Amino acid sequence: MLILHGHYKFRKRKVSCRNDYCTICNRDEFTEGIRSFRVIHIFFIPLIPIGFATEWRCTSCGKDPFSRRPISRGLAITGFVLSLSLLAVSVAALWEERRNNPGGLCIVLVMLGGLAFVTANSLSGKRRSEYLARRKAVMPLRTDVCPYCATPTFQRSTIRCELCKITIK
C-alpha cells in the first residue's frame, strides 16, 4: 500500500544571519536562518504539528551549509564495526547456502567494497580537523549595522535589527 507522506513548512521567515563556512561552496559565505512551522502530512492533508524549526541556508548556493560536514572519528569507527559485523553474519549465512545461492558471493564482494570505501573516507581525521579549523576561522559579521537594511543595530544580550526583526550572530 502506498502512503504519501512528508512535511509542510508554514510561515517561513528570516530570523537570523551570520557568516559561516559552507561545505557545498567550500568557502566562507553569508548564511540565513529561516524559521518555519512544520506539520506532518499524509496524502497532502496536514495532520500532526511538529513545531518551529530554524534551517540555515547559504545565500550563494541556496543549500544547507552543514550538509557535507565530516563525521566524527568515534561515529566512523562505530559504523565500521557494525558494517564488519553485518558482513560477517552475511558471509556465515551464505556459507551455509553456498550451493543453493552462487550469486551470494557477488553480494559479499559488493559489501566488502562498500566497507573499504567507507573506511577509507570516514576514518581520516584530517578532514574533520580541517573543517573545524575552517569554521573557526570565519570572520564574524559587522554587528553595528544590519546587513539587509543598513540601519544601526541595538546591542543587547543579542544583536538585533528592530526594523527587520533579524538576529545577527
Distance of CA 67 to the CA centre of its chain: 4
Other beta carbons less than 10 A from residue 57's beta carbon? 17
Residue 122 pLDDT: 66
Residue 31 pLDDT: 95
Residue 128 pLDDT: 79
Residue 154 pLDDT: 77
User: Which of 82, 132, 140 lies closest to 111 in space, CA to CA?
Assistant: 82
pTM above 0.75, yes or no: no
- Residue ranges in the chain modelled with pLDDT below 70: 1, 97-105, 120-126
Residue 48 pLDDT: 92
